């Protein structure tokens, strides 16, 4: 049996006295794409950020390929090499060119040779239709282009797991398709991904498994076709009814 790439057991997180994650258990196999869905405040983004310890948790364990994320063997930056993350707000440095944004972590954090980092960055930019924008600055790009650069930046360190947090939420509708096409491509290349998304049609298309969170718990999970067409949990049904009524599925 193949060891899970990501294993989450009994994960609990409080913000003050507010319980945000309540005994969450989840495993993600190598090359699997898992989409996390649910209403705002259900714990999706917090769960995502706990995986690479951008957010500390109170109880439970998270392991990558069987090694706890708390293991000192990761060193200061080892976890960030293995797990890339992309946010909805891009988080690009405005005073740096596209190429400088992409190569900053590989060079400064992970010690990659500068020329090798630039070559890797150019290869990725070209692959994602941004080959001519290496010298441009973020403000010169559209929202969709900035989000693609953010994904390229996350891929520059050759991560084995990619976390995507509502990466289309800040985009105009006509730009969403470009970003979703990149995620489809990454799935085709075998990237392991955990995706927080409000794009239900996309989740149904790209996910191997969908997890519905409510009140900080995964209350139902399964293959997209089954979960979206015949959910078993009443809370899942109620959520999807609202999504359908809003024309989002």
DSSP string, 182-245: HHHHHHHTT-EEEEE-S-HHHHHHH-SEEEEEETTEEEEEE-HHHHHHS--SHHHHHHHHHHHH
For residues 5 and 192, give the distance between their C-alpha atoms in angstroms, rounded to a whole number.
Answer: 8
| Rg value, the chain, Cα | 18
* Highest mean pLDDT out of 83-87, 97-101, 142-146: 97-101
Average pLDDT, the chain: 92
Helices (DSSP H) in the chain: which residue ranges?
A: 44-51, 78-82, 98-104, 114-127, 143-155, 173-188, 200-206, 224-229, 234-245
Between 17-21, 129-133, 236-240, 242-246, the lowest mean confidence (pLDDT) is in 242-246
Q: Calculate mean pLDDT across residues 222-248.
A: 90
Q: What is the average pLDDT across 36-58?
A: 94
- Per-residue confidence (pLDDT) for residue 137, from 0 to 100: 97
pLDDT of residue 91: 85
Closest CA to 184 of 169, 168, 172: 168
Residue 246 has pLDDT above 80, yes or no: no
Task: Give all domains of the chain, ordered by start, each with its CATH number.
Answer: 6-245 (3.40.50.300)
Nearest of 35, 34, 21, 27 to residue 9 by alpha carbon = 27
Per-residue pLDDT tens for 134-178? 999 999 999 889 988 999 999 998 999 999 998 888 777 777 888
Q: How high is the pLDDT of residue 199?
A: 86
Residue 28 binned pLDDT confidence (cut-offs 50, 70, 90): very high
- Given this model, what pLDDT does residue 110 score? 86
d(CA 53, CA 51): 6
Angle (nearest 5°) at CA 68 between 85 and 121: 30
Rounded CA-CA distance 149/158 in Å is 15
Spatial strand order of the sheet with 6-15 comes to 18-28, 6-15, 59-64, 67-68
């Amino acid at each position: 049996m193949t060891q899970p790439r990501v294993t989450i057991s009994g994960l609990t997180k409080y913000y003050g006295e507010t319980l945000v994650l309540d005994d969450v258990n989840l495993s993600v196999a190598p090359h699997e794409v898992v989409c996390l869905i649910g209403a705002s405040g259900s714990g999706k983004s917090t769960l995502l950020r706990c995986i690479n310890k951008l957010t500390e948790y109170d109880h439970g364990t998270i392991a990558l390929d069987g090694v706890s994320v708390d293991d000192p063997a990761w060193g200061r930056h080892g976890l960030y090499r293995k797990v890339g993350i992309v946010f909805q707000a891009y988080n690009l440095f405005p005073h740096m060119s596209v190429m400088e944004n992409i190569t900053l972590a590989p060079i400064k954090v992970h010690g990659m040779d500068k020329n090798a980092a630039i070559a890797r960055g150019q290869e990725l930019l070209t692959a994602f239709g941004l080959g001519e924008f290496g010298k441009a600055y973020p403000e010169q790009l559209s929202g969709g282009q900035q989000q693609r650069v953010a994904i390229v930046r996350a891929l520059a360190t050759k991560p084995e797991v990619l976390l995507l947090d509502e990466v289309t939420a800040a985009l105009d509708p006509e730009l969403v398709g470009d970003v979703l096409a990149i995620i489809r491509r990454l799935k085709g290349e075998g990237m392991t991904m955990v995706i927080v998304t409000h794009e239900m049609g996309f989740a149904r298309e790209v996910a191997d498994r969908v997890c519905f969170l409510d009140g900080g718990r995964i209350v139902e999970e399964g293959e997209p076709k089954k979960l979206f067409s015949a959910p078993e949990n009443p809370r899942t049904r109620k959520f999807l009814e609202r999504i359908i009524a809003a024309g989002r599925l």
